[in-house]
Structure 1
């Protein structure tokens, strides 16, 4: 993970609260409000959304890592800095959820590059959903995941009731959401919420290794694969098979597909360039 400056406060420039570097075709997005357990403000969410959108359209970016500084990955939403709405009227809350948390989760799901969550500590509420929306999740051993909404008397938002049943099934999802218990990283791995649990000192190394493998892969094929998998649970077989065939048709026009086939015929390792 990129090194971070000294801890900042929410009054400091946004670029210091969401760190961003591109290293070897990997876009690193780092939440950097450790004193607030990286609870995200409205402005920070907008920055993350913009960076994910930029990654989709930038041929120089072939993978994304989302991580954080300090002891927390993301403690949820910090609504300070949200646009003033004046007197609340019916529909304001739903509009805030749509424009805020749901847009953030959608930005991860819709990013055309594979996204890894490197979860260093507590991921609660929308912070947990931010991790669960990523394509791959690596968690440090001290990390925990908390569906904290029920503790506040709230309905899970930010895509929680959409993501969790698809990841672990409806019964397990209800258990986590009804009780709001903290789920240690090892249990999250057992449930299928996390791909890999590693010692805290190995988190950056593992995330970097995985990201570099993705960045060296056939970028457009990975994007199409992500789209197929994300849509598969909402489609019947005929629709899914048709989408798969269409995706392969599109993919076979890419230079990387031609390189992959040529490398197989020539019995050598392929060299993919993300084109």
Structure 2
């Protein structure tokens, strides 16, 4: 039986009497994903998969102001500084995507406010995603000066069209909740103050369903992702090559100085 008390960078609650585990993204800077949280996001899906008590997972940001602003700049600067950090975080990024895809338990994401970077992986790869009308979905990799890795090349074209994917990934335009639902990036869009209760109701519904039938359906559908894993590996390789280049230095500096980047 999984012991969730070992998680410190994530707030893991449950499973409750309906078999629902709630994972809350917590931390400074709109729940930025630090090194510990990134590592725990990799492991939690393995523990959930091994826990027979769990029938559904609800993942959200603490409170209702933000889902996650993405990877912390401390982690980004560590990656740019050392080969060892690049290798570690690239391996974790690959395992995060794969572990989410392989987890047999249905995952419901509840998105209020910003969802970006490392936190966006769980939004795109959740089985059902509920977004508020004013949710702000943005993949910030290109704005940072690196290729859109993590999950984007694998997941986004499956959720929407190549034309929309290229527009949002290449421009870093913010994708609002209503438009995200319209183009297929999220399952459901509701008023911001209805996000959490809607996601909870969906979690309860799937938790009460046939465990074996839901797991088998999820497994079969996720073969669309499995057959395209080479896309994930290629995008990660390009992303982490970029972390050793000059553009990411300017990208991080422009974020910290709250200005537009000046890529040469």
Give me the whole-angstrom Cα distance separating, in 1, the residues matched to 2:168 and 2:80. Answer: 35
Structure 2: any 5+ residue segments left out of the alignment?
228-264
What is the DSSP-based 3-state SS (H/G/I as helix, E as strand, rest coil) of the residue aligned with 2:119? helix
Aligned to 2:259: none
Give me the whole-angstrom Cα distance separating, in 2, the residues matched to 1:198 and 1:192. Answer: 14
Aligned to 1:51: 44
Structure 1: any 5+ residue segments left out of the alignment?
1-12, 236-275
1:119 aligned to which of 108, 111, 127: 111
Point out the structure with max Rg over C-alpha: 1
Aligned to 1:75: 69
Count of matched residue pairs: 219
Query: Does residue 152 of structure 1 match 2:148?
Result: no
Aligned to 1:100: 92
Aligned to 1:188: 180
1:197 aligned to which of 189, 196, 206: 189
Aligned to 1:110: 102
1:211 aligned to which of 203, 210, 230: 203
- Counterpart mapping for 1:230-245 below 5 A: 230-232=222-224
Q: Which has the higher contact order (CA 8 A, sep 6+)?
A: 2
Give me the whole-angstrom Cα distance separating, in 2, the residues matched to 1:233 and 1:217. Answer: 24
What is the DSSP-based 3-state SS (H/G/I as helix, E as strand, rest coil) of the residue aligned with 2:31? coil
Instruction: Normalising by structure 2, report the TM-score.
Output: 0.75
Q: CA deviation at 1:61?
A: 0.4
Give me the whole-angstrom Cα distance separating, in 1, the residues matched to 2:205 and 2:96. Answer: 25
Aligned to 2:258: none
Aligned to 2:21: 27
Give me the whole-angstrom Cα distance separating, in 2, the residues matched to 1:77 and 1:232. Answer: 27
Q: CA deviation at 1:166?
A: 1.2
Give me the whole-angstrom Cα distance separating, in 2, the residues matched to 1:180 and 1:120. Answer: 19
1:61 aligned to which of 34, 51, 54: 54
